Structure 1
Amino acid sequence: MRLYETTFITDSQLPEIEIEAEIKRVEDLIKSNGGEIVETQRWGLRRLAYEIEKRRQGYYAHFLYQALPAVPALLDASFKVNEKIMRHLTVVSEINLEERARQIAEGIAPYRAVLPDEPRFGGHGRRDRRSEQEDN
């Protein structure tokens, strides 16, 4: 079994009961196909980077689970026919479960962003270019 992460965004206009029902439905689909839920996170209402279906906000839910490779395909098919799900993404996770369990036991915040020391794409951004030009 592999470790996967799935995040989906539901319509922010849905009642809390329906959002919880969608989360439960995803958990049940994973479990009924031999998967094991490691963690479910409710990220709540968040502003979208761009409008989706004329909505500016969505409710985010995130799942970390172990499953056979067929399960993400089943989730994908399920999300595509479900009008309540606006967007979804599933990736193979690179999280070390032993390290994750230790972090939870120590109370360390999950999924903290780790910023690289150097810029990722070679540039330092517009401000740095201006200051470089002033130096010349």
Structure 2
Amino acid sequence: MFLNSYETIYILKPDVTDSTNLSFVNYYKSLLKEKGAQNIVIQHRGRRHLSYNIMHYYDGIYVQMNYQANGYLLKLLEKSMRLNDNIIRYLTVKQKIMNSIDIY
């Protein structure tokens, strides 16, 4: 089965504790592994000021996840994030894979 490369960034509410943040990271990492994702890399981007107000919050805690997965897994992940009250925004982008043909 062919896996696409994805990057998902989600923003947590600024009042989320470090332990809760870590539990979300571990939960999503285990979900990805359990459902067959590969090359999972998770980076904490820290607390940042939002460009605009989201749900009355001006700051958020950013977490970036890079992984390879199929579309079905992506739907499960995004549904889980949509139902999580501590996540105020998420975005997944499909990464283009560079082949040797693409390089001039």
Aligned to 1:14: 16
1:29 offset after TM fit, Å?
A: 1.1
Q: After TM superposition, which residue ranges in structure 1, 4 or more long, deviate above 2 angstroms?
A: none
Q: With a CA cutoff of 8 Å and minimum separation of 6, indicate the structure with the bigger relative contact order.
A: 2
Aligned to 1:3: 5
1:67 offset after TM fit, Å?
A: 0.8
Higher helix share: 1
Residues 31 and 37 of structure 1 are in contact (CA less than 8 Å); yes or no, is this contact kept in structure 2? no
The one-letter code of the counterpart of 1:20 is: L
- Amino-acid identity (%): 29
Aligned to 2:57: 55
What is the aligned length?
Answer: 96
Q: TM-score, normalised by structure 1?
A: 0.67
1:95 offset after TM fit, Å?
A: 5.2
In structure 2, the gaps of 5 or more residues are 99-104
1:47 offset after TM fit, Å?
A: 0.3
C-alpha distance after superposition, 1:31-58 (max 9, x if no partner): 1100024321100000001111111100
Residues 50 and 60 of structure 2 are in contact (CA less than 8 Å); yes or no, is this contact kept in structure 1? yes
In structure 1, the gaps of 5 or more residues are 97-136
Q: TM-score, normalised by structure 2?
A: 0.87
